[in-house]
Amino acid sequence: MKLVIYPMCLECPFITYIGAREKEIRVWKKWTTIKAKLIQQNVFFLPYPCPEFMLKGWPRPPMSKDMYAKEGLGKIAENVVEFIVRVIKEMKPSKIILIGIAGSPTCAIFETTRGWGNLKRDLVENYLKAELSSRIKLKKELGKGFVKQRGRGILYEKLIEKLQALGITFSCFEVDKHKQNPFEDSKI
Ligand code: SF4
């Protein structure tokens, strides 16, 4: 049995930090179509709970990997990793595929977002109360100084380390929501 492990926001685009913009909806539609085909082929799906939602609720301000680490996301990520590893041990899949989200501070596999400043509290308050279109504008200001950098997000850092320590093999790819075909690198 093949097991595909992926972030909850592919299932529910509304849960991303800012909400469901056009690109989140586009990715969700494509993923839903791909999944419908894979279900016919004895592929199982494990969408894991969103660690950022568990820590910060919704909507959340844009935050970097470093900011989330400072606010305690590591502990939540460990609980999610424990859940995923236990499912793997019980289901004993013959093949495991991990899907990451490019740029995510938490769920990136190859490229995450770094940034070392503090949140601008007054701006965050406005952002949290604002409608989606205004959140999109405020996001730019809140994300100033963030940089994309090679490296994993907090959750996949822990999960991949754990799987490697247990000798569990897997393949992985990353969804880039900015791409027209975000699943083109998929090896599913
Ligand atoms: S933390 Fe992971 S599951 Fe949550 S919105 Fe970001 S990429 Fe998706």
Digit-coded pLDDT (tens) for 125-167:
999 999 999 999 999 999 999 999 999 999 999 999 999 999 9
- Residue of 7, 46, 55 whose CA lies nearest to 28: 7
Strand 111-114 and strand 95-101: pairing?
A: unpaired
2 burial level (CB within 10 Å; 0-12, 13-18, 19+): middle
Which of 5, 11, 21, 53 to mutate for ligand 1's pocket (most ligand atoms within 8 Å of CB)? 53
The single-letter code of the amino acid at 146 is F
Is the CA virtual torsion 46, 49, 51, 52 positive or negative?
positive
Is there a contact between 77 and 162 (Cβ–Cβ < 8 Å)?
A: no
Ligand 1 centroid to Cα of residue 31, in Å, is 15
Give pTM, 2 decimals.
0.95
- Residue of 157, 34, 56 whose CA lies nearest to 107: 157
- For the chain, give every domain's residue range: 2-172
108: its two tokens: 């990136």
Query: pLDDT for 25-38, tens place per residue?
Result: 999 999 999 999 99
Q: Taking CB atoms and a 6 Å cutoff, what residues make up the pocket around ligand 1?
A: 7-9, 15-16, 50-53, 101, 104, 106-107
